[in-house]
Structure 1
Amino acid sequence: MAGRDGELQTAGGEVRRLPVARWLGHEHADESLLTVVLDWCHGPTVDLGCGPGRIVDLLLRRGIPALGVDDSPHAVRLTRERGAAALRRDVFAPLPGEGRWSHAILLDGNIGIGGDPARLLRRAASLVEPGGTVVVEVEPATRGVLREAIRVRAAGGTSVWFPWARVGSDALDDLAATAGLRLARWLDHSGRRCAELVR
């Protein structure tokens, strides 16, 4: 998030490039995907794992009340520098407006937070009102649910290992059902896949 290239390493030895430019809002392909996905949001929205706040900022520019949540102080600072509201908090900790948000967002792989997608979807569902939605991104190349330990490496150093998960399209229906959510629609765009789940 400091603008430097980085990579994600798995305990199994896989290395993936981190999409730093996308997180910072520098990729036009990302803008066109977000234009469509954010059209699904019509009321107060909470972005879980907001990173540097590009999604919260875009929602506010549309006149939609939005709050970012991230446990990284750097991410929260970047979000606030955009003029957007953000809390430094674990997504499982108490949050304002629980059960009253219209939408919760889990994009950029954030369905993997904590390494337990079922628990995270239950948490997201608990934040939105009945009839509200949870917008998630899955990985088209992944089948099922892959739980793994990962760490981030960049010019500034290497993080500690932490639990993460990847979710394939084929697993989302069952995960959603355990959270009291129903799949409403899919969006495939520029090699990425997003879904809208309704509480």
Structure 2
Amino acid sequence: MTTTTTATTTAWRADPYTDALRTGRGPLFLRRHDGWLLPLEVERWCEAPDAADRSVLDRCRGTVLDIGCGPGRLVAALAAEGRRALGIDISPAAVARTARLGAAALCRSVFDPLPAEGRWDTALLIDGNMGIGGDPAALLRRLRQVVSRSGHVIAECAPVDVDECCDVRVDDGRGGRGTPFPWARVGVRALAAHARNAGWAVHEQWTVDGRPFLSLALQSSARSSTAGPR
């Protein structure tokens, strides 16, 4: 595990995030060094999938890996439909909550070795999880090792035209803060550019209730050059 991944893991295990998941309530934010706050929608994450979530679930095919599954609403919905799905998250509280919903989940980073690497049909990066690791291109390159050659990635974009990487902290707005870790925010245009640079092509773009999404498929050159048995 790299130093960056270790810092991120420690941050998301901090009490403000754990407490929010246990109660299912915020407030919870990501705080940038200059004091800017990004609200995290803990209540929505802990509820049943909404219309925007359903638009994602309807596009999932085959086996599904939910990266940064949080409290597990998406992977639980897939499991309830009899779909083969696994959630991964670096927060033990998130994994425990997902398991209580009857879904399979592991406490693991996407940059760690994963079950069935190279054979997942769909990988999900929802609720801002394109920010994991603070480097969208590196994350997407990693997913070339995780997803099958014919698989795809469904990623939620920031609802504004942004492309930034900075250090943030989990903050409960009442004085509780985690340790700093790198995070990224990318809008539709930025994610499409990062995807192209990482060997992915935009297959579909859509927006529901103000939440924009992209479906990514491997470029033909990346598909043929991806190493390892499938």
Q: What TM-score results when the alignment is normalised by the length of structure 1?
A: 0.93
**Superposed CA offset, 1:126-157 (max 9, x none):** 211112100001112133x2001111122692
Q: Sequence identity, in percent? A: 45
1:161 equivalent in alignment to 2:161:
no
1:148 equivalent in alignment to 2:162:
no
**Which residue matches 2:25?**
4
Q: CA deviation at 1:16?
A: 2.5
CA distance in 2: counterparts of 1:62 and 1:142, whole angstroms:
35
Structure showing the higher strand proportion among its residues: 1
- Stretches of 4+ moved more than 3 A in 1? none
**Superposed CA offset, 1:48-98 (max 9, x none):** 101011110011122210000111111110011111111111110000000
Change over 3 Å in CA distance of 1:19–1:176 after alignment to 2: same
CA distance in 2: counterparts of 1:105 and 1:156, whole angstroms:
32
**Correspondence 1:60-99 to 2 at 5 A:** 60-99=79-118
Q: 2:200 aligns with which of 181, 186, 191?
A: 181
Structure showing the higher helix proportion among its residues: 2
CA distance in 1: counterparts of 2:64 and 2:31, whole angstroms:
31
**Correspondence 1:1-199 to 2 at 5 A:** 1-2=21-22, 3-5=24-26, 6-25=28-47, 31-143=50-162, 145-154=163-172, 157-199=176-218
Q: What TM-score results when the alignment is normalised by the length of structure 2?
A: 0.81
**Which residue matches 2:18?**
none
Q: Tell me the amino acid that sits aligned with residue 55 of structure 2.
A: V
**Which residue matches 2:10?**
none
Aligned partner of residue 117 in structure 2, secondary structure: coil
Task: Tell me the matched-pair count.
Answer: 195
Please give the root-mean-square deviation of Cα atoms over the aligned residues, in Å: 1.4
Q: Can you give the 5+ residue segments of structure 2 that lack an aligned partner in the other structure?
A: 1-20, 219-230
CA distance in 2: counterparts of 1:170 and 1:34, whole angstroms:
21
Q: Can you give the 5+ residue segments of structure 1 that lack an aligned partner in the other structure?
A: none
